[in-house]
Structure 1
């Protein structure tokens, strides 16, 4: 695997760095640093997405023929890496990374022409209706029913752990359109306007007190049949395609390295109760070094997958490996931050957001204020996008052949 950058790639990287230096505002960077949830709030996302869209870089993962940049896999990697190392917010993936590839791969020409531009403009903010009570990791057991009635589907059921449903104006969902065969064969993929009569959103508050996820109730919700993506019964195939994009195709390691470096930097100002600072404590340095080596190992795995993609091979089940490792490392780094700040890291202010003029004043520092909430919220990493157990099973079957 050759990981040396070409001259053209070095020039591209430098262009990205210049853009970040001028367009990534201190306000957005600070808000990102003080966000404890997995996804940033829409105000942060929208501000950063608008800046990228003005430059023509928002759809950096899309093919050029569908309005994307047409960048090579190496350029996409470099872009994500430089954004992570600069402290830029993660773009909310639901529309850009998850739905858009489904639309331009399985959608009709009318769906492509209507929905893709609205994702880029920010007119549509999407949520994902996959998990249900009793059907989380086992998506094939979903019970939300869609019955064809003329030119419409009538949908009844509920979705749970629906991220940002309280902000979204649209949802893409898996629904059951047939019960006659295997469970996977009767699932379809459909688009739902959240303003449709019969759609209700109930908040779910996390252990940290954040409102990021919800339960969505669908009662006699009428959706145009033209909102079906692909064919009836093709939902399971589309869901697997979407989840492969969710679990892979992005680089986790640079963001993890950035967050680890922020913890390491803060340790230089934290007393060790022996007259020194924690950054000089041998045991602390050992923990940081071990984590850094683990993240660097993940970085090499992601680069190997990148090399495969650059050579025309699909990411495949290796994405489960990166998802598994990244989730566990995310939690380890967040635990390290809590340990760094000691009692100050246990503060859990109820007020949100933790940034902006109306935020509460932190005790000790902003890093200490956000540490506990971030740690609690990162418990979700080993659940969403497929639990650690699901990823381990996929790796055992498809990679190890067990």
Structure 2
């Protein structure tokens, strides 16, 4: 099937299956609290039709085959249809490619079909207090106990942990090891009362999509160790390199919709008549086009160690500036919430206000700007490593 026919099929399927209750339900960074029940049901619909995991190395896990360009087509049509924010993206876009690259056949056959069916949700257990951007400083341990590992430690900023069935955890399996050595990549079930505890973290937006996760002797099967004991750093870095691929283009289509809303607001409030505001809008528009061209240029360049870091630097700062612009075009009214402040839920924000507050973290989470610049400097430009 060529790309034109594939686009027609994707567009027709979305038109047929998206109901009024699906469109505009929201979801995604800053809005993960919206429409969760609808989005979980929608995830299973996507899976039943084979739209999850399209273009994986094989198509025998319930997904459908697709070329790289067709993956881009699906991402574009999905975003433009205003379909619900995906709740299974961590399993589909992070875990699955990592298992395809590093996992055993048994691990792929066990975990990929439930992801492709939209049945099992995942979260990522990387960052810890004191080991956020400096991931090699993590202290969570996993001790071998027969045919299992006992995982003990704390993870933080764990997106969607409160709804996840599984967590892929980077833990230290070699006693006395430090930095990158002695780490392993384990698949840990979240349903372990008394051994796994999830505590939501309330954000500036009033929502709690990030969490702290405490492991107290949580059990992970030895057969669910990915890449071999002590090879966790290699697996973890491979996963981070996969984190920004076709999904980056989906993100940018969402950015385009947000920018369009800012422009409509600027026209409605008269802010578009301000030369400074107009210049900021033009800059946002031009930079978004540049990000798209860069994303298309780097698709499939998995061997380029700088591509993910460049992409993160570009979109993090861009989205943060868009949040600031969204408030500027509304004037003083931007500081007033939409709710009835006399009711029992006074802390309520609209989409633009949530975007402004949440984007304050865009240059920090997923690897801070400082870390991204270090990666580019050291791994791409060959500059001396940072000291001190």
Relative to the length of structure 2, the TM-score reads 0.87
The CA deviation at 1:280 is: 4.4
The CA deviation at 1:375 is: 1.4
* 3-state DSSP of counterpart to 1:206: coil
Q: Could you tell me which residue of structure 2 aligns to residue 301 of structure 1?
A: 294
Gaps of 5+ in 2: 384-388
Q: Could you tell me which residue of structure 1 aligns to residue 323 of structure 2?
A: 334
- Between the two proteins, the alignment pairs up a number of residues equal to 375
Q: Could you tell me which residue of structure 2 aligns to residue 192 of structure 1?
A: 188
Q: Alpha carbon RMSD of aligned pairs, Å?
A: 2.8
Distance in 2 (CA, whole Å) between partners of 1:177 and 1:231 is 11
Q: After superposition, where does 1:1-40 map in structure 2 within 5 Å?
A: 8-32=2-26, 36-37=30-31
Q: Does 1:59 align with 2:58?
A: no
Runs of 4+ in 1 over 6 A off after TM superposition: 359-363
The CA deviation at 1:244 is: 0.8
**Structure showing the higher helix proportion among its residues:** 1
Cα-to-partner distance string for 1:329-388 (whole Å, 9 max, x where unaligned): 11122222222223333245799xxxxxxx98999xxxx822222211122222222111
1:124 to 120, 125, 138: 120
Q: Could you tell me which residue of structure 1 aligns to residue 208 of structure 2?
A: 211
Q: After superposition, where does 1:2-401 map in structure 2 within 5 Å?
A: 8-32=2-26, 36-37=30-31, 42-67=36-61, 68-92=63-87, 93-196=89-192, 197-250=194-247, 251=249, 252-268=251-267, 270-272=268-270, 278-306=271-299, 309=300, 314-348=303-337, 369-401=350-382
The CA deviation at 1:138 is: 1.0
* 3-state DSSP of counterpart to 1:58: coil
Cα-to-partner distance string for 1:50-103 (whole Å, 9 max, x where unaligned): 332233111125223453433111111122123223323442421111111122
Cα-to-partner distance string for 1:201-246 (whole Å, 9 max, x where unaligned): 1111111111111111111223222221221011101100111111
- Is the CA contact 1:345–1:369 (under 8 Å) kept in the aligned structure 2? no
- Is the CA contact 1:247–1:385 (under 8 Å) kept in the aligned structure 2? no
Distance in 2 (CA, whole Å) between partners of 1:73 and 1:20 is 20
* 3-state DSSP of counterpart to 2:51: coil
Distance in 2 (CA, whole Å) between partners of 1:324 and 1:47 is 34
Q: Decide whether aligned partners of structure 1 residues 313 and 176 sit closer, same or farther in structure 2, where only a CA change above 3 A counts.
A: closer
| More relative contact order, 1 or 2 (CA 8 Å, 6+ apart) | 1
Distance in 2 (CA, whole Å) between partners of 1:40 and 1:70 is 31
Gaps of 5+ in 1: 1-6, 273-277, 352-358
Relative to the length of structure 1, the TM-score reads 0.84
- Is the CA contact 1:24–1:88 (under 8 Å) kept in the aligned structure 2? yes
